[in-house]
């Protein structure tokens, strides 16, 4: 497929990098594939540390003027970026589906969700308040204000190639920071399209930059370059820990949004239909490839069999296919490594006593059949690692204490889900769950107005909400005598 031919504005599909307001290319390239067809859709520069260094220097120069823009001035420019993203939603969604594989409907949702962060932070740019603190002495005043932390490096993953960018970059730019973004090498075109629109919106040269290339090389330069004052990372716990330790050297601030192992707890008193539809969304959206996707399902023994029957009925209806086909609900997995991992996990679970109720196999290329496994036990590997695929792995429980222990028995601590109609129980469990986010009779955390983030091995820092801008700000305290 020639992507440019299906876009209203073919320039949005750009095979270049963007630094200091200029698009450029390089002879050394990375080829990008459509995971649905495994065809090459285009190529992007494979930049090394030289290009990263010059991007960082450009961002430093840009910072000096951008930080002096008033909040209102920054707000207006970010708002234009938001408006352009929405005006180009259809094209951006097509680029996203072509490089990532998710159904076009989900891609449209992601673009709108990503735009909501730009809108939110365009508003927050005007509300970056400090404090007035009652001073201990007469004739003294103490005030604080927020300053931008400096040049920011953002590293984003392939599972949400657009929204993970805006929720970092819009917050950073609202705070007055300049940004160098390294998107995933698997899905760079959504990032470059956002850069094209950032330029059209009038974001000054050097304030938003996009570099593609070898992750290790770029990541190392980000960590060791003293100009970078903050790294904002979304990706695996393994890489997050490496970046965290490298940032210790010159005490760079870092935010880490890492892996998860979300429990999904259903009590017999829950509205079962609501729980099933919540699970279908929280387990199977993006083909199960999200850090907040349900990873471990705990169903009260009394309703287990009925729940499984209802779930299998729904899973049977899921339509797997190319994201560009209108009926598709689940697209391909991102890579051979990803599908091989899921296939092995399922096989091993069955060998160890799990029962496959539906699915269980790879269909072709990167397509894995939506799967339901029962008889899962906490010792199985599938109950301990992040599945990151369309496999619903179900365990039974009898008591509240038992399920709290099971749910908390993980190093991860990002999202968690609970379905029950008993208010006392809801509050007890909500307090006991060791996760950054708890959804009760709800199946999504996706909103720009609420803080998003985890604890333990799921990282630290919060994105979105009124807190998001603080991740890119530092406090200056002023003491004045008169």
Closest approach of ligand ADP to the CB of residue 150, in Å: 19
Q: Which of 37, 27, 34, 28 is nearest to 13 (CA)?
A: 34
Restricting to residues 201-230, which ones interact with ligand ADP according to CB under 6 A?
215-216, 219
What would the two tokens of residue 334 be?
A: 């991102």
Identify which of residues 289 and 473 has a Cβ nearer to ligand ADP in the complex: 289
Total residues binding ligand ADP (CB under 6 A): 13
What would the two tokens of residue 273 be?
A: 């239909």
Closest approach of ligand ADP to the CB of residue 99, in Å: 13
Q: Which residues make Cβ contacts (< 8 Å) with residue 190, sequence separation at least 6?
A: 92, 95, 96, 99, 100, 161, 162, 165, 183
Identify which of residues 106 and 300 has a Cβ nearer to ligand ADP in the complex: 106
Closest approach of ligand ADP to the CB of residue 170, in Å: 18
Identify which of residues 216 and 325 has a Cβ nearer to ligand ADP in the complex: 216
Identify which of residues 103 and 459 has a Cβ nearer to ligand ADP in the complex: 459
Report the residue from 101, 157, 370, 413 that binds ligand ADP according to the rule CB under 6 A. 157
Report the residue from 59, 107, 115, 155 that binds ligand ADP according to the rule CB under 6 A. 155
Q: Which residue is nearest to ligand ADP (CB)?
A: 219
Closest approach of ligand ADP to the CB of residue 181, in Å: 9
Closest approach of ligand ADP to the CB of residue 475, in Å: 28
Residue in the structure block whose two tokens are 């998860």:
260
CA dihedral 46, 50, 51, 54 (to 10 degrees): 170
Identify which of residues 242 and 426 has a Cβ nearer to ligand ADP in the complex: 242
Closest approach of ligand ADP to the CB of residue 471, in Å: 18
Other C-beta atoms closer than 10 Å to the C-beta of 16 total 17
What would the two tokens of residue 366 be?
A: 């990167």
Instruction: Give me the helices (H) in 318-452, please.
Output: 336-351, 381-384, 400-408, 423-432
Residues 340, 345, 351, 355, CA torsion sign: negative
Identify which of residues 52 and 303 has a Cβ nearer to ligand ADP in the complex: 52
Contact window for ligand ADP (CB under 6 A) among 40-48, 233-241, 278-286, 445-453: 233-241
Contact window for ligand ADP (CB under 6 A) among 197-205, 232-240, 275-283, 359-367: 232-240
Restricting to residues 462-481, which ones interact with ligand ADP according to CB under 6 A?
none
Restricting to residues 181-200, which ones interact with ligand ADP according to CB under 6 A?
182, 184-185
Closest approach of ligand ADP to the CB of residue 249, in Å: 15
- Is the Cβ–Cβ distance between 82 and 111 less than 8 Å? no
Supply the residues annotated as catalytic.
Answer: 257, 291
Q: Which residues make Cβ contacts (< 8 Å) with residue 176, sequence separation at least 6?
A: 63, 66, 67, 69, 74, 147, 148
Q: What is the distance between the terminal CA atoms of the chain, rounded to a whole angstrom?
A: 71
Q: What are phi and psi of 35, to 5 degrees?
A: -65, -20
Closest approach of ligand ADP to the CB of residue 240, in Å: 7
Q: Which residues make Cβ contacts (< 8 Å) with residue 382, sequence separation at least 6?
A: 345, 346, 348, 349, 354, 373, 376, 391, 393
Other C-beta atoms closer than 10 Å to the C-beta of 29 total 15
Q: Which of 378, 380, 310 is nearest to 345 (CA)?
A: 380
By CB under 6 A, tell whether 359 contacts ligand ADP. no
Report the residue from 75, 156, 255, 473 that binds ligand ADP according to the rule CB under 6 A. 156
Identify which of residues 384 and 408 has a Cβ nearer to ligand ADP in the complex: 384
Question: Could you tell me whether strands 151-155 and 178-182 are parallel, antiparallel, or unpaired per DSSP bridges?
Answer: parallel
Residues 234-273: x where in contact with ligand ADP by CB under 6 A, - otherwise, as a string: -xx--x--x-------------------------------
Q: How far apart are CA 154 and CA 222, in angstroms?
A: 9
- Is the Cβ–Cβ distance between 453 and 234 less than 8 Å? no
Identify which of residues 233 and 298 has a Cβ nearer to ligand ADP in the complex: 233
Restricting to residues 165-184, which ones interact with ligand ADP according to CB under 6 A?
182, 184
Contact window for ligand ADP (CB under 6 A) among 152-160, 202-210, 356-364, 376-384: 152-160
Binding site for ligand ADP (CB under 6 A): 155-157, 182, 184-185, 215-216, 219, 235-236, 239, 242
């Amino acid at each position: 497929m020639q992507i440019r031919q299906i876009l209203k504005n073919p320039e949005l599909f750009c095979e270049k990098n963007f630094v200091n307001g200029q698009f450029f290319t390089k002879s050394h390239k990375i080829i990008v594939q459509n995971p649905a067809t495994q065809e090459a859709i285009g190529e992007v520069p494979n930049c090394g540390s030289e290009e990263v260094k010059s991007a960082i220097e450009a961002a430093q120069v840009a910072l000096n003027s951008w930080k002096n823009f008033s909040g209102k001035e920054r707000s207006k420019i970010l708002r234009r970026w938001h408006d352009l993203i929405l005006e180009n939603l259809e094209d951006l969604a097509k680029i996203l589906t072509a490089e990532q594989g998710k159904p076009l409907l989900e891609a449209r949702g992601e673009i709108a969700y990503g735009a909501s962060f730009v809108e939110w932070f365009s508003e927050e740019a005007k509300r970056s308040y400090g404090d007035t603190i009652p001073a201990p002495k007469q004739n003294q005043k103490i005030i604080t204000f927020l300053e931008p932390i400096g040049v920011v490096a953002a590293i984003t993953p392939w599972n949400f190639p657009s929204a993970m960018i805006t929720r970092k970059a819009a917050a950073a730019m609202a705070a007055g920071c300049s940004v160098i973004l390294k998107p995933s090498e698997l899905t760079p075109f959504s990032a470059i399209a956002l850069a094209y629109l950032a330029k059209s919106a009038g974001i000054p040269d050097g304030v938003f930059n996009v570099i593609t290339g070898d992750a290790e090389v770029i990541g190392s330069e980000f960590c060791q370059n003293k100009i970078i004052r903050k790294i904002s990372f979304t990706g695996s716990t393994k890489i997050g820990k490496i970046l965290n330790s490298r940032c210790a050297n010159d005490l760079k601030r870092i935010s880490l949004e890492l892996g998860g192992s979300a429990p999904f707890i259903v009590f017999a008193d829950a509205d079962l239909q609501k729980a099933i539809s919540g699970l279908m969304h929280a387990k199977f959206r993006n083909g199960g490839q999200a850090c907040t996707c349900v990873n471990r399902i705990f169903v009260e023994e009394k309703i287990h069999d009925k729940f499984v029957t209802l779930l299998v009925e729904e899973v049977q209806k899921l339509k797997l296919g190319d994201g560009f086909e209108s009926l598709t609900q689940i697209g391909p997995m991102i890579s051979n490594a990803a599908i091989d991992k899921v296939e092995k996990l399922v096989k091993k679970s069955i060998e160890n006593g799990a029962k496959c109720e539906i699915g269980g196999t790879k269909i072709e290329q990167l397509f894995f059949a939506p799967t339901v496994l029962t008889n899962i036990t906490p010792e199985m590997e599938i109950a301990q690692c992040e599945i990151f695929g369309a496999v619903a792995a179900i365990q039974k429980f009898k008591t509240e204490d038992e399920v709290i222990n099971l749910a908390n028995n993980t190093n991860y601590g990002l999202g968690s889900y609970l379905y029950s109609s008993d208010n006392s129980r809801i509050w007890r469990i909500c307090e006991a769950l060791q996760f950054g986010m708890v959804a009760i009779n709800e199946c999504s955390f996706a909103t720009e107005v609420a803080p998003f983030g985890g604890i333990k091995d799921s990282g630290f820092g919060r994105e979105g909400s009124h807190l998001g801008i603080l991740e890119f700000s530092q406090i200056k305290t002023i003491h004045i005598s008169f």
